[in-house]
Amino acid sequence: MKRRGLALLMAAVLGILTGCGSGGGTDGAAAPDAQAGGQGEEQTGTAAAEEEHEQVELSFTYWGGSYEQPLMEKLIADFEEAYPYIEVDSQHIPSDYEAKMSAMVAGQEEPDIAYIRDYMALDFAEQGMLYNIFDFIDQDEELDREDFVEDFYLYWDEGKSYGMYTAGESYALFYNTEAFEEAGVDPLPTTVEDALTWEELVDVAQRLTIDQNGNNAQSPDFDPEHIRQYGIRFDFNQGSYMPLVHGNGGTYMTEDGKFGLAQEEGLDVIEKMGDLVTKYHVAPSPAETKSLPSTAVSLTTRQSAIIMIGQWVLLDLGESGVDFGVGVLPEMNGEYSTSPGWGTVGIFESTEHPEEAWLLWKWLADPSRAIEAYQSGLWMPLMTEWYTNEDLLNQWAAGNIAHPEGYKEAVMEPALNHFHRHPSAYVKNFAEIDALVTPALERMYLGEESAQEAMEGIADQAETLFEGLYE
């Protein structure tokens, strides 16, 4: 409470000095006067900044691979150059991020601003630990809520958003062009209107699944025990099945507390995905996946012909030099859906420097600050104009090896018009429920239980854990 009181006092004083006042949001948190953010911040003079501000140190934690770390450090260095009175103590946490974040929060040592998994952020926000990002945006002289893609906001209550995704993302199908050509399979469709039906996807995956003797999965001589190229590969988490469940009219948990994956629409998708592994033998099981390289590498080495994954894989595919294409996910009963990643950038209420934390948040959300991250395929923008302004769009989504022909139609358009949040962003107690779902799915993929047995077997427990849905 003392730290929050100090933050409020600082905001009020700064508001008087700048003539803008200290705004208040739904939680009574002071919003910053954003005098220099987004494009054009270089106009703020270094000398003036040094005269008007005392030195401030911000702590910031983030995840990411070997590419993302140097990119983030450059972003921060550029930020510190633009705001010489702010020093950012950044900490890159490449593994066990959730456990380490939980430990920091438990020890009351949370950072000022951080990457946070959405299901953790929901809990933190509900406990009053994260700022409502609208408290900042509504007081900002340069930004409006409409400047960001609406579906990218993450809410924990009506009018209360703890932020947006760390970047825009979208699930799609990515494929090895050479594998398609050798099998005589047409390229995957890139528009929602032309999306494959599930039956068509199965057919394509069968033709692309090749055993050690060169037989595909439709051949009577096919050997499912010795496969050198799988037709399709996907991860065994919400990212693989929930876009299809949403497209099929289903959900993870219903509003009245029923376990959605055990209902007809959800169970239908779970069963279909299980069949890819156990019936058609066109996708590797969890056990088989352990002996394969990463999802991206399995495509470049032709151990998988198609991978179903988020568009961030474009970074690895582009850097590999492999000839690859992109296609939309299959439609389910005439409908279509895609989903994002599941992380956010949140500002903790315990920060003593909310105005400076907001300036860093804005900096990270501005594509112009790290255009190479978007050109490389790692991120998609959060800001609307980077999709609607053709000049800005072409700066990142065209003319580079990470964005093949059809990208805009197959990845970007569905993200803007057929977007459904993962359940980790709207189901209370998601982590506890998912701890039941993951092993149940694994039993199905290993052929130990049918889809119905696996999902109905945990339905009562899931419904007992269910505490409701966030706004």
pLDDT in tens, 93-123: 999 999 999 999 999 999 999 999 999 999 9
Average pLDDT over residues 167-186: 96
Lowest mean pLDDT among 46-60, 275-289, 431-445: 46-60
Q: What is the DSSP letter of 41?
A: G
Tokens of 124: 């933190």
pLDDT at 18 over 90: no
- Identity of the highest mean pLDDT range in 27-36, 57-66, 171-180, 308-317: 171-180
Least confident of 164-168, 323-327, 356-360, 435-439: 164-168
Q: Which alpha helices (DSSP H) does 88-236 contain, by range?
A: 97-106, 118-126, 133-137, 177-183, 198-208
Q: Which stretch of 26-30, 176-180, 436-440, 445-449 has the lowest confidence by average pLDDT? A: 26-30
- In 3D space, the residue among 206, 203, 216, 207 whose CA is nearest the CA of residue 184 turns out to be 207
Residue 49 pLDDT exceeds 70: no
Q: How distant, in Å, are the alpha carbons of 185, 205, 240, 387 from that of 200?
A: 12, 9, 18, 31
pLDDT score, position 32: 39
Place of tokens 């058609």: 280
Beta-bridged to residue 2, according to DSSP, are none
Report how far apart the first and last C-alpha atoms of the chain are (Å, whole number).
27
Q: 327, 331, 274, 264: which is closest to 299 by C-alpha?
A: 327
Residues 343 and 168 sit within 8 Å (Cβ to Cβ):
no
Mean pLDDT within 432-456 = 97
Distance CA 364, CA 68 (A): 13
| pLDDT value of position 71 | 86
The per-residue DSSP string of 429-443 comes to: THHHHHHHHHHHHHH
**pLDDT of 340 strictly over 70:** yes
Can you tell me the distance from the alpha carbon of 174 to that of 170, in angstroms, rounded to the nearest whole number? Answer: 12
> Residue 84 in 3-state DSSP?
coil
Taking a C-beta distance cutoff of 8 angstroms, is the pair 333, 249 a contact? yes
Radius of gyration of the chain (CA): 23
Q: What is the pLDDT of residue 218?
A: 98
Residue 397 in 3-state DSSP? Answer: helix
| pLDDT, tens digit, 9 for 90 and up, residues 56-77 | 999 999 998 877 888 899 999 9
Per-residue pLDDT at 51: 55
In 3D space, the residue among 380, 391, 386 whose CA is nearest the CA of residue 339 turns out to be 380
Q: Is 258 exposed, middle or buried (0-12, 13-18, 19+ CB in 10 A)?
A: middle
Mean pLDDT within 272-283 = 98
Distance CA 215, CA 211 (A): 5
- The pLDDT of residue 25 is above 50: no
Three-state secondary-structure class, residue 207: helix
Work out the average pLDDT over 393-409.
95
d(C-alpha 411, C-alpha 190), whole Å: 8
Topology of the domain comprising 171-339+428-465: D-Maltodextrin-Binding Protein; domain 2 (3.40.190)
For the record, the structure tokens of 365 come out as 């959300």
**pLDDT(26) > 80:** no
CATH 3.40.190.10 boundaries in the chain:
2-35+46-168+342-397, 171-339+428-465
Mean pLDDT of all residues belonging to the chain: 89
Q: What is the pLDDT of residues 190-227, one digit of tens each?
A: 999 999 999 999 999 999 999 999 999 999 999 999 99
Q: Nearest CA to 93 among 75, 74, 117, 77? A: 117
pLDDT of residue 467: 95
Which pLDDT score, from 0 to 100, does residue 8 have? 38
- The rounded distance, in Å, linking the Cα atoms of 35 and 135 is 15
Q: Quickly name the fold that domain 2-35+46-168+342-397 has.
A: D-Maltodextrin-Binding Protein; domain 2 (3.40.190)
